[in-house]
Amino acid sequence: MIYDSNSYIDFSLKEELRRMGELDKVKSYLPQNAGLQCYDLFYTKATAVNAQVFRVNTADEAVETARKIIKELGIKKAVSVPLSLVDGEKLAKALKAEGVNLATGRPLRKTIEEAQLGITEFELAVAETGSLAQDATDVYKRLISSLPPYHLAFVKTEHIVATFADALDVLYKANGNQMPGYVAYVSGPSRTADIERVLAIGVHGPERVFIICIG
């Protein structure tokens, strides 16, 4: 897939259905204490590591929130994984109206490198650390969440688990009782400290992270 300033580039139905299946599998193994009751702690911990967290009730509200964020940032090029938590076509059209070109599906690495913002969705969020978690065996998930300077992620509020151990357990069970090939955790913007303990933000990953919790 490449940027197209004139029309929306649709993602494959097969990939969308696969993503929906992944999320359904995860839901089956969520602990009883997952969900809204974990949101306040997740918000506190995530904002403590400089992530910006929003909670909306519906997928349409999530699209509108994403549009506002991206407009305020002045983004012109964005890239997205195939989306199942929100309507990808609605999001692309909303961004196009703001002059934003959105590439989705499995774009060339150069396209991802040139994007100002990456849009992803995560299977889980972890309240005790304020982290997002997912099976990121697919390299495109990792590239889109780590190469652009801004990262916007969708996650279901009901998929917020209490602990790091809960997240590992859910991913293990959802993957047929074996760990995925690559599990990614995102805790706020990229942070790097040199030998003199000088902290730098956004050197090895996004400098700003936006999380939209749906439901």
What are phi and psi for residue 12, nearest 5 degrees? -70, 140
Q: Helix or strand or coil: residue 88?
A: helix
- Domains by residue range for the chain, with CATH: 13-214 (3.40.50.10420)
* Strand residue runs (E) in the chain: 52-56, 77-80, 101-104, 117-121, 124-126, 131-135, 150-156, 160-161, 183-186, 191-193, 199-201, 208-214
Q: Side chain identity at 61, as an amino acid letter?
A: E
pTM for the model = 0.84
Q: Helix or strand or coil: residue 46?
A: helix
Q: Which two three-digit tokens encode residue 167? A: 């997240």
Q: pLDDT tens string for the chain (215 positions)?
A: 333 333 333 444 444 444 555 566 888 899 999 999 999 999 999 999 999 999 999 999 999 999 999 999 999 999 999 999 999 999 999 999 999 999 987 777 889 999 999 999 999 999 999 999 988 888 888 899 999 999 999 999 999 999 999 999 999 999 899 888 888 889 876 455 555 565 545 444 578 999 999 99
Q: How far apart are the first and last CA of the chain?
A: 31
